[in-house]
A and B are shown apart, each in its own frame.
Chain A
Amino acid sequence: MALISDDRLSELSFEELSRYSRHLLLPDVGLEGQKRLKAAKVLIVGTGGLGAPLALYLAAAGVGTLGLVDYDKVESSNLQRQVIFNTRDIGRPKVVAAAERVVALNPDLEIKTYNFSLSSRNALEIIKDYDLVADGTDNYPTRYLVGDACVFLKKPNVYGSVFQFEGQATVFDATRGPCYRCLYPAPPPPGLVPSCGEGGVMGVLPGIIGTLQASEVIKLIVGGARPLIGRLFLFDAWLMRASELRLEKNPDCPVCGKNPTITELIDYENFCGLKDTVQEPIPSITASELKERLENGDKVKIIDIREPHEQMLFKFPGATPIPFGQLVRRMDEFDPTIDLVFICKIGQRSLYAIRALRDAGYMGPMYNLKDGVNAWARDVEPKIVAY
């Protein structure tokens, strides 16, 4: 069955016939395919590295209605990859700047912006008006939220994700293939896979994966192509290696299996272990407080768990470097009578480091440098660049 039913198709104008001539020349797209694109409604969740090429190419291709969801504002560190924004957009809401750009590209486009986070409260209400969703978010809770919502609403979820030099893409469509949870029943423990904000990402990579997603969106709308359903495309830009893996539907999947146990949206932050409901809170220390303690000559041992290449950007004075992966094995090196202060880039991985040591049985006092070395750069040594 076609994703866009025939009764929704309307004629193309003279200008549209000219604008889309390269599509019209393709026998597999043609006039009918272009009319389907015009009638289609696509929701892009996340207007960042993946969302930028998605929005630009889908607007250029003549997708009639685009929805853009993002709560964030443009920052200078986005411009290395989020090519939909200009330098003058820094500080503006992403969806506003992105909408302006795509409308300039294609004035016939109908664009809807949602300048807030997608959540369990609003996801079904928003997604239900669209034919399909392209997922360009950057965190596990939203990935599961989008995945589950698409299963419940029977919408295809055109999936892409990136990390450092690696990308993944597939189309999850539970009506004829696996869903996100069939592949990944549960997320990684917090802290293991850093976000792009911590682990970095090659700027071109979301461009490659995002355009692949745009291609899959267009194929699903036009119909007749072989979509990336039941196949996972993996790409490693550093090794220039691409692979295709077979994905199968899990008959025991809690969402799309034969006897589903999850039938409505849940609390995804909790599901991903990001809520501290049961765990003891971890004491933190601010950059200014740490500076004061160091100046007073207090006995404090600072453990820098950042990767060696990050330490090259800023060597924290007096810190002992121990990468996250080695901490538990090397905990005998610590004196449990001395305060340990753990530092990373933004104070997130250091939190997980403390938790890992606690779980491994380390009993000494441990503190988290709140907001990491970026806070030190902001509050103590402004000459240092927050990265």
Chain B
Amino acid sequence: MAVSLLVPTALRGFTDRKAELTFEGDTVKEVLDALVGAYPDIKPHMFDENGQLRAFINVFVGDTNIKSTGGMATKLSDGDTLMLVPAIAGGR
């Protein structure tokens, strides 16, 4: 499955400033593994020492958080859009 991955500004420093990437993968895990494979510097920022997705990042497939669809095992369809949504705090 070819899917798009939207990268927020906060993480673009690790993806050569690219905002949108295309990866192959049948599950969210496969796509995020492909992301880390292509851009290894991003790994410690997205995953903790145990390989768990860090709590300040949410992954959405379409408009739905993967927390409610099986987490990293969430199945993908061709043309799906994944979005990484990190906590940002600026306001001043």
Contact = CB atoms under 8 A, between A and B. Distances in A.
Q: Are chains A and B native binding partners rather than an unrelated pairing?
A: yes
Interface of A: 46, 48-51, 72, 78, 82, 135-140, 143, 160-166, 168, 183-189, 192-193, 195-196, 199, 201, 206, 232, 234, 239, 243-248, 250, 307, 323-326, 328-329, 356
Given A185-B55, A186-B56, A192-B45, A246 B65 contact: yes
Given A166-B10, A244-B63, 10 more contacts: A46-B92, A49-B92, A50-B92, A135-B91, A163-B10, A184-B58, A184-B87, A188-B56, A189-B54, A325-B42
A75 B12 CA distance: 29
Nearest to A137: B91
A341 B47 CA distance: 28
B85 A201 contact: no
B88 A329 contact: no
Given A187-B56, A246-B65, A139 B89 contact: yes
B85 A232 contact: yes
B21 interface: no
Interface in B17-72: 19, 40-42, 44-45, 54-58, 60, 63-65, 67-68
A191 to B, nearest CB: 10
A184 B55 contact: yes
Contact of B54 (A188, A248, A324): A188
B89 A329 contact: no
Contacts of B88: 161-163, 166, 168, 193
A77 to B, nearest CB: 10
B86 A188 contact: yes
A164 B52 CA distance: 27
A187 B83 CA distance: 18
A117 to B, nearest CB: 13
B77 interface: no
A138 B63 contact: no
Nearest to B45: A192
15 contacts: A138-B92, A140-B89, A162-B90, A163-B89, A187-B89, A192-B10, A206-B90, A206-B91, A206-B92, A232-B85, A239-B19, A243-B83, A247-B65, A324-B13, A325-B42
A261 to B, nearest CB: 15
B67 A138 contact: no
The prevalent SS among residues of B at the interface is mixed
B72 to A, nearest CB: 16
Contacts of A248: 65, 67-68
Contact of B91 (A50, A234, A326): A50
A159 B10 CA distance: 19
A164 B12 CA distance: 12
A96 to B, nearest CB: 16
A187 B85 contact: no
Nearest to B12: A164
A260 B40 CA distance: 37
Contacts of A51: 91-92
B44 to A, nearest CB: 8
Contacts of A46: 91-92
Contact of B90 (A163, A239, A323): A163
A186 B55 contact: yes
Nearest to A307: B13
A139 B86 CA distance: 14
Contacts of B45: 188-189, 192
A165 B83 contact: no
B91 A49 contact: yes
Contacts of B91: 46, 48-51, 135-138, 160-162, 196, 206
B64 to A, nearest CB: 6
Given A46-B91, A201-B90, A206-B91, A325 B14 contact: yes
B53 to A, nearest CB: 11
B87 A187 contact: yes
A163 B13 CA distance: 14
A82 B92 CA distance: 8
A161 B40 contact: no
Contacts of B68: 248
Contacts of A239: 19
Contacts of B56: 184, 186-188, 193
B85 A136 contact: no
B60 A245 contact: yes
Contact of A246 (B42, B57, B63, B87): B63
Contacts of B19: 239
